[in-house]
Structure 1
Amino acid sequence: MATKIDKEACREAYNLVRDDSTNVIWVTFKYNGSTIVPGEQGTEYQSFIQECTDDIRLFGFVRFTTGDAMSKRVKFALITWIGENVSGLQRAKTGTDKTLVKEVVQVILLLLVKMTTMMMIVDFSTVLSGLPNTLYLLLFLIFYICF
């Protein structure tokens, strides 16, 4: 069965993360049968990391702040999480399902396709503080290759 996405519900969750007036800094998009729907949302990165378990696949839209005291900038990342215990068929379908999520999540800094728990523990605001935008992707690619 082809995967569908609840665009309206997912767009509402996406806009919560993008809205400066809310404290929500991340939201997940999970599978409910063959439909992608909004999952959990939160105000702390640690709770997002706990959502990414070995037996699920999900998409996360995360907000983080970079810069120094003189210039703060908000950045966003779309994360595709595929746990180690997810079957090969579900892994393959997740890659094609990502296009459905990208129809809703249209503003992203980078797309991290595969992450380990070690990578997610990194404090984005510390790592990216003060770096020019053109170096963000390079930094993550180097980090991804090394770990």
Structure 2
Amino acid sequence: MNVLALITALLAARSLAPENEEKISAAYEDVRSDATETTWLMCVYEGKEIVLSGTGSDYDDCLAQLGDGMRAYVYLRVETGDEMNRRAKFAFITWIGPAVTPLKKARVSTDKAFVKEILKNFTKEILADEKSELKLETITNALNKASGASYGTGQ
């Protein structure tokens, strides 16, 4: 197989069509923007294709969409810091529900690289297969630890 044929085959195997990349990219910019209320986006599989399934401002709505047989990628904005200094931090979450088959789990490891080409900037990457791992408090604590020291007034 020549190099051009190999590149063509690799591109054909991608799980992200250009039109889906554009939608996901626009949602990513919306989550990152300080001017919007959007705090999360979710990408899921429709067949073999990764698509944007939704965005929102209530993280509980996001969690409610995660099913046991699902694979999903979530980009989450969390306000962190202390009373002296608030800032936005971002988590990249890969959800693999407990009922996902081994073959589909394996596919996530290669597809995640394509998703991370769009959802580039994040403080912490989280892999979860139980919803208890995705409590907002748990993620906020992980983001705070990942971002370094937190100086406050002690109040």
TM range (shorter): 0.7 to 0.9
Per-residue deviation, 1:126: 6.0
- Quick one: percent identity of the two aligned structures? 30
Structure 2 unaligned blocks of 5 or more = 1-11, 150-155
Residue 52 of structure 2 corresponds to which residue in structure 1?
Answer: 38
Q: Which moved more, 1:2-11 or 1:101-110?
A: 2-11
User: CA RMSD for the aligned pairs?
Assistant: 2.4
Residue 21 of structure 1 corresponds to which residue in structure 2?
Answer: 35
* Shift in alpha-carbon separation, 1:80–1:28, aligned structure 2, 3 A: same
Per-residue deviation, 1:114: 2.5
Find the aligned partners of 2:105 and 2:144 in 1 and give their Cα distance. 36
Given that 1:27 and 1:61 are in contact with CA atoms closer than 8 Å, whether structure 2 keeps it comes out as: yes
Equivalent residues in 2 for 1:1-147, closer than 5 Å? 2-5=13-16, 6-123=20-137, 127=141, 133-134=147-148
TM-score, structure 1 as length reference: 0.82
* Shift in alpha-carbon separation, 1:92–1:128, aligned structure 2, 3 A: closer
TM-score, structure 2 as length reference: 0.78
Q: Which moved more, 1:28-37 or 1:83-92?
A: 28-37
User: What secondary structure, in the 3-state scheme, does the structure 1 residue paired with 2:84 have?
Assistant: coil
The count of aligned residue pairs is: 136
* Shift in alpha-carbon separation, 1:132–1:50, aligned structure 2, 3 A: closer
Say which one has the larger Rg: 2
